[in-house]
Amino acid sequence: MNEGMLWLDLNPGLDLVKKVQRAIHYYQHKYGILPDLCLVHPSMLADVQPEQMPIAIRPYRFLAPGYLWIGLAEKS
């Protein structure tokens, strides 16, 4: 992903699935397109199974915990 939206969610009451769902909703409302990829710090994936996520999720160690980089995956 070369372009995307950086989303910060430090709400301790929400799990990662809910945080991603909120970011997806905002992204779709703002840009008019449904994102298909979310990058997060590897520590945020500790208790999450990829099949639980509404879109593809990948670890990206260069993001600080709490941040989600959400957008469209690069097409090859």
Residue appearing with tokens 């995307």: 4
Q: How much is the pLDDT for 11?
A: 95
Model pLDDT, residue 46: 86
H-helix or E-strand spanning residue 5: strand 4-8
Give φ, ψ of 73 to 5 degrees: -70, 150
Domain boundaries, the chain: 4-71
pLDDT, one tens digit for every residue, the chain (76 residues): 888 999 999 999 999 999 999 999 999 999 999 999 999 999 999 888 878 899 999 999 999 999 999 999 988 7
Per-residue confidence (pLDDT) for residue 68, from 0 to 100:
98
Query: Residue 66: which region, alpha, beta or left (left: phi > 0; alpha: psi -120 to 50)?
Result: left
For the whole model, what pTM was predicted? Answer: 0.92
pLDDT at 3: 86
